[in-house]
Amino acid sequence: DQQVKQNSPSLSVQEGRISILNCDYTNSMFDYFLWYKKYPAEGPTFLISISSIKDKNEDGRFTVFLNKSAKHLSLHIVPSQPGDSAVYFCAASRGGGGSQGNLIFGKGTKLSVKP
């Protein structure tokens, strides 16, 4: 059972335009959401996060939106740059100790930004 879903395996965007990456989750107990960026043959790097008490968090060109009623979050990149081309993973976790706090990852979306 996939608790975090990224239904688009790939996305292609023109440089300068907006990139929108989507993520859906099923577990209503998740209270913290993160986006990671991964280049080939490298480990993922943390990009931006959002707590469930917020509906928006912005960091430079990156904004994450959370719609709790729809169990949906999205990552907006504006303007998109060729260096943004990578695989983006959505992740979620719930509070609590033990395995409850572990991050659950989606399968990733490969973003290609064309010059």
Partner 1 sequence: SQTIHQWPATLVQPVGSPLSLECTVEGTSNPNLYWYRQAAGRGLQLLFYSVGIGQISSEVPQNLSASRPQDRQFILSSKKLLLSDSGFYLCASAGGFVRELFFGEGSRLTVL
List the interface residues with partner 1, window 5-44 (CB under 8 A): 6, 32, 34, 36, 41-44
* Residue 36 CB-density burial (10 A; 0-12 exposed, 13-18 middle, 19+ buried): buried
> Site size for partner 1, by CB under 8 A?
25
Q: Which residue in 101, 86, 73, 76 sits closest to 18, CA to CA?
A: 76
Nearer Cβ to partner 1 (30/113): 30
Q: Which residue in 16, 22, 18 sits closest to 71, CA to CA?
A: 22
List the interface residues with partner 1, window 58-97 (CB under 8 A): 89, 91, 93, 97
Which residues are at the interface with partner 1 (CB under 8 A)?
6, 32, 34, 36, 41-46, 49, 89, 91, 93, 97-99, 101-108
